[in-house]
Structure 1
Amino acid sequence: MRVCILVEGTYPYITGGVSSWIQMLIENMPDIEFDVVHLAPWKWTRSFGYKPPKNLKYIYEYLLFSSDFSKTNIAFDERELVRYVRQLIELKEERAKYFANILRVTAGKHIDYLLLSRTFWDFLNDIYIRYFQEEGFPGFYWTVIGFIVPILGAIQALPPKADIYHSTTTGYAVLSALTGKYYHGGKLIVTEHGIYHREREIEITKSKSIPEVYKKPWIEIFKLISATAYAECDALTTLFEKNQIFQFELGADFRKMRVIPNGIDIKKFSTIRKVEHDTFNVAMVGRVVPIKDVVTGIKAFDALVKEVPNSRLYIIGPTDEDEEYYQRCVNLVELLGLSGKVIFTGKANVIDYYGMMDVLLISSISEGQPLVQLEAMAAGLPVVVTNVGNCPEIALDPDGQSGFVVEPKDYVAMAEKLIILAKDKALRETFAQNGRRVVSQKYTLERMINSYRQLYEEVLSNA
């Protein structure tokens, strides 16, 4: 069996989250050969964040904004493509079917040159006159080009021949996966850790760089890609049931759907030795980037210190992904007079720190089912998490509460919960015991690996 995993801007460069999940998946199925297709807007120069397992045969890299207008495909009928696109715009229903037809027609073909063709220019003029005539044409033109180029880049990122294409998003990566399915005849599995089109909708809605008139069409494009992926895949998985509601909204077939929770190496974290310390230590684990909302975590810690002066905050994770945001966090620490109490470790092994931590704080504004929450529970740490993704369901599991849940951005509520835990050692121990029990029963690595192995075998047996 050969499986090709398709990602956007994550593995093997970015650590944690989806990347950790991919590394565990490959490492724990040594009898299966894997390839990885990495799509990104630019060429990455940083080193790999993981040592590639022996059964990871090749890593292919494609640039979404790398157009080559010199290559053409004479056998390709550009008028057929434009006809499909016109139908796509004019139809109210079955758009996913027509978009799939476009992908089938273009699979394995080089189509960048179409952007310079008279057919495309006439089509563009028609769309402008019909829908955007009140806007300036230069702005319209470059906005449309900005929409189209990464889509063309993803479609032309033809993956290697594989039995199964396993996409980690319903964004650009799934366009490459669909191309592989149509061109090579493999099966397609889509795994959504977060719901991609909803995340893009939030980003676009909040964006100040995209004119309002173009926001709705751009959001609809991402919804269309997701709907097409749901319709064309052979299996659709996600980490928790709440995500399936959003998949159903775009027509996902329940017969294809599975919930496969994340899993962790329980023994690796449950055997961490506790280190004696005389401070109350709070851990934030992850990349120092806006989506993790480290700023709010620092504000919550500032309020904690006023009540529990001997507290310390350890921010454990890479600081080089968004240097401007990292500097903002450093400046805030200095402004609040917390230097010496807030420690940025940079990229580190959390096992080296968990033994002296008292609580895990997740202040993120968006999450799926964070591995760090499960790992902290296995290590015997109570948690304070935001009400995003699957974080609250895990923390408030009916078989045992392992922590508190607060709303995103509410640093006052975060601080209140941290103060409660700092002053109540018995409660910390109760949450710790509950967390260990829940994670060992429901979120084991063995369970996750077995579920994906069975899924791989199932989709191939339905050939």
Structure 2
Amino acid sequence: MKIAVLIKNTTFHKDYGGLETQNKTLCDGLVSRGHQVTVFTQQKELTETTKIDNGVNYVFIAASFRYLFSSINPNSWEKKSLKVFSEYHSKEPFDVVLSQSTAGIGVIKNKKQLGVKVISIAHGTSAGELKTQIQNIKNLKDIYWAIRNTQYFLRQFFGRQREYILGSDKVIAVSHAVKTQLLDETFAPEELITVINNGIDPSSFVESAKTAQKHNDTKVHLIFTGRVIRSKGVFELVKIVWEVKDMPFTVDIVGDGEDLTELKNNITRLGLSEKFVFHGKLNRQQVTERLLQSDIYVMPTLRAEGFPMTLVEAMFASLPIIANNIGGISDAVEDAKTGYLIKVGDLSGFKAKLTTLIADTSLRATLGQNGRIKAQNEFTLETMLNKYQQEMQKVLAKGDTA
């Protein structure tokens, strides 16, 4: 199949996250199965206009991603991506288009004229993003931006989100929570939306596990991986650590973010510097090695995330997980089987489960083993690719574009 992918950013851009990582994993995997994949994305800070990486073709487009007047602004992403895609499509037609969230809106609006099928991938919803922004308010500046962005949310909620969902031939939600939210917010027919959880290639964990060794001290090692921002619950984590600071453990923080300095200052002020170790942003192999050296994975996030790939990585590392029950996290974490799900805001509940796991080596091993088995059965790259291929084949088999 010839597959086009439209996405706002890639792993070549700065400040990329889970969505971009999932997209690279998916595209590389599809190419490994013999498909031709071309990714259309913004150029932004990059200097090149095209690139080939692991057999995937990348096309970088100079465009503005501002939503206001995007349908009439010739330099908007909607217009420019449609123009560049159409040029490529006219030379060698694509069989199917994958739109990461709203990135393919220009093609979606014109898919009938282009004669191409579109599958959109939803990682979250407009209401979920607004809720996250409100929860992340910490000063007057944040209040200003929250109020200003409310108009953006309303346009997204009543406009673009429904356009890209209802205009697609198929929608893939990365978790059951995302599917439920989309059904509630867009009134889409249930059969339009299929859930496919993100998957990863577990081979790196298998290889690294052969040489990885746990820390040789008597402490239990907790680990947090991800962006160090308020909405990830990092300040709540500090509060929890304060409550159990006399227990023998440390917390490894892997990642970077805009709230890192404030977090470090907070930790120092509370006299908890010996409890936290900051590693900065690591590459994927380094993250894998760090996970394999750890004992417990903590995710006190306040964000309604679609399906965090960090959870899958922790499961392949045989780590029990303590996470807030929000967004698509419950697709991965089974309460009391692979870890513990905590109600958002219940710091006492989080502390209680953390205390239990720190004290019980056998329980940690049991929950971690259960998590690894679940990940092997449900969250491998092979499983994800199989499901994507099945959905693409179903869409193509339906005939003419509606």
TM-score (norm 2): 0.81
Asked which structure has the greater CA Rg, the reply is 1
CA distance in 1, matches of 2:10, 2:130: 16
Q: Retained in 1: the 8 A contact 2:27–2:37?
A: yes
What secondary structure is seen at the aligned counterpart in 2 of 1:454?
Answer: helix
Name 1:85's counterpart in structure 2: none
- The structural deviation recorded for 1:371 is 1.3
Question: In structure 1, which of residues 372, 383, 396 is the aligned counterpart of residue 334 of structure 2?
Answer: 396
CA distance in 1, matches of 2:110, 2:60: 13
- The structural deviation recorded for 1:15 is 4.5
Pair 1:299-2:236 in alignment: no
Q: Retained in 1: the 8 A contact 2:223–2:298?
A: yes
Q: Retained in 1: the 8 A contact 2:127–2:153?
A: no
Name 1:32's counterpart in structure 2: 35
What secondary structure is seen at the aligned counterpart in 2 of 1:154?
Answer: helix
1:281/1:231 CA distance change after superposition, 3 Å: same
- The structural deviation recorded for 1:153 is 4.3
CA deviation profile, 1:93-147 (whole Å, cap 9, x unmatched): xxxxxxxxx99xx6xxxx338xxxxxxxxxxxxxxxxxxxxxxxxxxxxxxxxxx
CA distance in 2, matches of 1:196, 1:5: 21
CA distance in 1, matches of 2:220, 2:274: 14
Q: Retained in 2: the 8 A contact 1:303–1:412?
A: no
CA distance in 2, matches of 1:198, 1:420: 32
CA deviation profile, 1:213-253 (whole Å, cap 9, x unmatched): 98368414433212122221011111222322222221212
What secondary structure is seen at the aligned counterpart in 2 of 1:252?
Answer: coil
Q: Retained in 2: the 8 A contact 1:261–1:448?
A: yes
1:201-220 equivalences under 5 Å are 203=133, 208-209=143-144, 215=150, 218-220=153-155
- The structural deviation recorded for 1:433 is 1.8
- Percentage of identical aligned residues: 24
Pair 1:231-2:166 in alignment: yes
CA distance in 1, matches of 2:233, 2:99: 27
Name 1:163's counterpart in structure 2: 95
CA distance in 2, matches of 1:265, 1:361: 22
Question: In structure 2, which of residues 73, 89, 98 is the aligned counterpart of residue 112 of structure 1?
Answer: 73
What secondary structure is seen at the aligned counterpart in 1 of 2:53?
Answer: coil
Question: In structure 2, which of residues 280, 291, 294 is the aligned counterpart of residue 354 of structure 1?
Answer: 291
CA distance in 1, matches of 2:215, 2:65: 52
- The structural deviation recorded for 1:263 is 1.4
Q: Retained in 2: the 8 A contact 1:190–1:233?
A: yes
Name 2:319's counterpart in structure 1: 381
- The structural deviation recorded for 1:395 is 1.8
Pair 1:20-2:21 in alignment: yes
Number of positions where the alignment pairs a residue of Structure 1 with one of Structure 2:
371
Name 2:269's counterpart in structure 1: 335
- The structural deviation recorded for 1:34 is 1.9
Pair 1:186-2:116 in alignment: yes
- Farther-moved stretch of structure 1 (175-184 vs 56-65): 175-184
**Larger relative contact order, structure 1 or 2 (CA cutoff 8 Å, min sep 6):** 2
Q: Retained in 1: the 8 A contact 2:224–2:251?
A: yes
- The structural deviation recorded for 1:458 is 2.4
- The structural deviation recorded for 1:192 is 0.9
What secondary structure is seen at the aligned counterpart in 1 of 2:279?
Answer: strand
Name 2:278's counterpart in structure 1: 344
Question: In structure 2, which of residues 345, 349, 358 is the aligned counterpart of residue 422 of structure 1?
Answer: 358
CA distance in 2, matches of 1:60, 1:292: 30
CA distance in 1, matches of 2:332, 2:64: 36
For 2:143, the aligned partner's letter is K
For 1:304, the aligned partner's letter is V
CA deviation profile, 1:27-58 (whole Å, cap 9, x unmatched): 21222222223348xx33699xxx96332112
What secondary structure is seen at the aligned counterpart in 2 of 1:208?
Answer: helix
1:339/1:212 CA distance change after superposition, 3 Å: closer
CA distance in 1, matches of 2:20, 2:109: 23
1:37/1:298 CA distance change after superposition, 3 Å: farther
CA deviation profile, 1:199-218 (whole Å, cap 9, x unmatched): 24653797622696983684
Q: Retained in 2: the 8 A contact 1:200–1:219?
A: no
For 2:235, the aligned partner's letter is V
Q: Retained in 2: the 8 A contact 1:169–1:192?
A: yes
1:232/1:444 CA distance change after superposition, 3 Å: same
CA distance in 2, matches of 1:336, 1:461: 61
**Unmatched 5+ stretches in structure 2:** none
What secondary structure is seen at the aligned counterpart in 2 of 1:233?
Answer: coil
Q: Retained in 2: the 8 A contact 1:35–1:58?
A: yes
Name 1:154's counterpart in structure 2: 78
CA distance in 2, matches of 1:286, 1:213: 27
1:414/1:270 CA distance change after superposition, 3 Å: farther
- The structural deviation recorded for 1:447 is 0.7
Question: In structure 1, which of residues 280, 290, 295 is the aligned counterpart of residue 230 of structure 2?
Answer: 290
Q: Retained in 2: the 8 A contact 1:6–1:167?
A: yes
- The structural deviation recorded for 1:177 is 3.7
- The structural deviation recorded for 1:305 is 2.0
CA distance in 1, matches of 2:47, 2:357: 39
- Farther-moved stretch of structure 1 (241-250 vs 445-454): 241-250
Name 1:370's counterpart in structure 2: 308
CA distance in 1, matches of 2:205, 2:166: 39
- The structural deviation recorded for 1:404 is 1.2
- Farther-moved stretch of structure 1 (249-258 vs 383-392): 249-258
Alignment RMSD, CA only? 3.1
Pair 1:6-2:9 in alignment: no
What secondary structure is seen at the aligned counterpart in 2 of 1:63?
Answer: coil
CA deviation profile, 1:319-368 (whole Å, cap 9, x unmatched): 2x52xx11111211211222243111112221221232010001111222
- The structural deviation recorded for 1:425 is 1.0
1:37-76 equivalences under 5 Å are 37-39=40-42, 43-44=44-45, 53-64=53-64
Q: Retained in 1: the 8 A contact 2:232–2:302?
A: yes
Q: Retained in 1: the 8 A contact 2:132–2:231?
A: no
CA distance in 2, matches of 1:198, 1:362: 18
CA distance in 2, matches of 1:389, 1:444: 20
- The structural deviation recorded for 1:424 is 0.9
For 1:187, the aligned partner's letter is K
CA distance in 2, matches of 1:58, 1:314: 35
